[in-house]
Structure 1
Amino acid sequence: MVFSFRSSSRDEDRDALRIIGETVRNRLSANPAAYRLPVDEIEIYAVSEFLDTADCRRLIAMVDDVARPSPTYDDNHDKGRTSYTGDVDPKNPFIRTLQKRIDDLLGLDPALGETMQGQRYAVGQEFRHHFDYFVTKHDYWETERARGGQRSWTAMGYLNTVEEGGATDFSKANLTVPPEAGVLLIWNNMLPDGRPNPKTLHAGTPVLRGTKYVLTKWYRARPWA
């Protein structure tokens, strides 16, 4: 069974985010392949070898095909995003299968998931500290509220092992995760009660040697449009 929630008000979104958090938490905690990282500030899990070598190579080629200079959300602490980014084709059979694997892993309705996005970082490129959730006081919130509301969970797959640098740094949780090919990192951007968790502030640190490739999928409180 997968979780689906349909709502339009902010208060009900909080309820949805709380239930989504519980759904995914229970699902991952019962999965022996999912390892909860030992920090108290964030609900964050890792699944090793979620992607095999062939998957990673294929996805890297797809990212290269769509990569463009990364956009940012104004006032969302992500001005320092110097990577290349692009949405992978959601109709591609390989991508559809991968999306289903992630949906099933988390136990969420596919309708809640945004289109998967690939990112490429060359030497010196980074994504400075930012939140994946939306800061609702800013102007972009009304647009995001209308197309699915707040983000709940992030699933990020590392497509290669970077020679040096490129770690994911959760500075407020004292946690740094090095990029390792095939690993899927999953975290809840909310607190257990459905409020945004400021301890999820994180960065993609500068790549010092090599190139970094990742694939990211975000989930919303309501069906994403």
Structure 2
Amino acid sequence: MFQYVIGLLAIFLVFSNPISDFLYPDRATRINNVSPRPKFNESLLAIDPPNATAPECAPDGYVARILSREPLIVYLENFLNEEERKHLLDISEPIFVPSTITNNGEATHRDSSVRDSHVALIPRTDPVRCIESRARALQGWRPDLWIERVRTQRYGPGGHYNHHFDWSSNTRGWGRVSSLMVWVEGSDSLKGGGTEFPLIKRPAEKEWCRLIQCTDDMEEDKGTGVIFKVVPGNAVYWENFAADGRGYEETWHAGLPVQEGTKTGLNIWSFGRI
């Protein structure tokens, strides 16, 4: 009897994987297509040297609210505190340069008709490293995910960024997996400058009207299109790829033109395995 059981177990071990691969071909494809980490420019990633001492960071104080589940979009209130916002503005001011765009992921050029703003690749001070750490913790400390060097963006009157994706392609299972758009500053005179996601289903609950632009018939409106208000300290997190590696078309978004005043944002992008 014992030998019979051992024989059945051996047969199961031999054939279980082929059978499961036949029944679940998508699973087999995902496993077989896992590719090694590609080579990348580590100077563009927020990577600490092995002997670096972790900064002392205040406890996280933000509140998360899910706006969309597919793709995942999470609104974060109080992602930055007032001291962090001031620090970001102070270190950005001397190094702002005109922003550029790229059509092939490599060469860049300036085209103010597409993107009109100033950008700063900010130094990794201790407060900045705490913000990076917060963004990584939000995503569960994944071992195959890296925070890119963060950038501030300043938009003056007429400043805008036409509709675009943060992701470009799925490169053998790797890419810019997520985005965090954080509002650092919105001047008292600010008009316009909201961030639009025209393909996202608009929530009907009036509680969202503090954070997004609403219409008078909010509860009856079942349409698409969300425009986030500029609320300093708050942020929006979204994922750029579906589980099958497809880039989410719904993440098409734009920084709408600033009519008066200025706004400053912080981009936190994450590169990793899709």
TM range (shorter): 0.7 to 0.9
Q: Find the counterpart in structure 2 of residue 81 from structure 1.
A: 115
Give secondary structure in 2 for the equivalent of 1:171: strand
Give secondary structure in 1 for the equivalent of 2:269: strand
Could you tell me how far 1:135 is from its partner in structure 2? 4.0
Cα RMSD, aligned residues only: 2.8
2:231 to 169, 172, 180: 180
Distance (whole Å) between structure 1 residues aligned to residue 34 and residue 147 of structure 2: 18
Counterparts of 1:117-196 in structure 2, within 5 Å, are 117-135=151-169, 149-162=174-187, 163-173=190-200, 174-196=225-247
Counterpart code for 1:85:
V
Say yes or no: does 1:94 pair with 2:94: no
The TM-score normalised by the length of structure 2 is: 0.61
Give secondary structure in 1 for the equivalent of 2:241: coil
Q: Find the counterpart in structure 2 of residue 6 from structure 1.
A: none
Counterpart code for 2:89:
I
CA contact (8 A) 1:158 1:184 kept: yes
Distance (whole Å) between structure 1 residues aligned to residue 270 and residue 156 of structure 2: 27
Q: Find the counterpart in structure 2 of residue 201 from structure 1.
A: 252
Say yes or no: does 1:33 pair with 2:63: yes
Higher relative contact order (CA 8 A, sep 6+): 1
Could you tell me how far 1:151 is from its partner in structure 2? 0.7
Distance change >3 Å, CA 32–CA 205, structure 1 → 2:
closer
Distance change >3 Å, CA 56–CA 32, structure 1 → 2:
closer
Q: Find the counterpart in structure 2 of residue 52 from structure 1.
A: 81
The TM-score normalised by the length of structure 1 is: 0.73
Counterpart code for 2:66:
R
Q: Please identify the structure whose Cα radius of gyration is greater.
A: 2
How many residues are aligned here? Answer: 185
2:94 to 65, 82, 95: 65
Give secondary structure in 1 for the equivalent of 2:101: coil
Q: What fraction of aligned residue pairs are identical, expressed as a percent?
A: 27
Range 161-170 or range 208-217, more displaced: 161-170
Could you tell me how far 1:61 is from its partner in structure 2? 1.9
Distance change >3 Å, CA 55–CA 124, structure 1 → 2:
same
Counterpart code for 1:126:
H
1:28-49 Cα deviation digits (max 9, x unpaired): xxx9921011x46531111111
Distance change >3 Å, CA 178–CA 32, structure 1 → 2:
closer
Give secondary structure in 1 for the equivalent of 2:79: coil
CA contact (8 A) 1:63 1:120 kept: no
Structure with greater proportional strand content: 2
Give secondary structure in 2 for the equivalent of 1:58: helix
Could you tell me how far 1:100 is from its partner in structure 2? 0.8
Counterpart code for 1:210:
G
Q: Which runs of 5+ in 2 are unaligned?
A: 1-32, 36-60, 201-224
Distance (whole Å) between structure 2 residues aligned to residue 34 and residue 88 of structure 1: 26
CA contact (8 A) 2:121 2:151 kept: yes
1:189-214 Cα deviation digits (max 9, x unpaired): 11243310111100000111111100
Give secondary structure in 2 for the equivalent of 1:98: helix
Counterpart code for 1:209:
E
Distance change >3 Å, CA 34–CA 129, structure 1 → 2:
same
Give secondary structure in 1 for the equivalent of 2:93: helix
1:51-82 Cα deviation digits (max 9, x unpaired): 12222121122222221111211168x95011
Distance (whole Å) between structure 1 residues aligned to residue 93 and residue 132 of structure 2: 19
CA contact (8 A) 2:84 2:127 kept: no
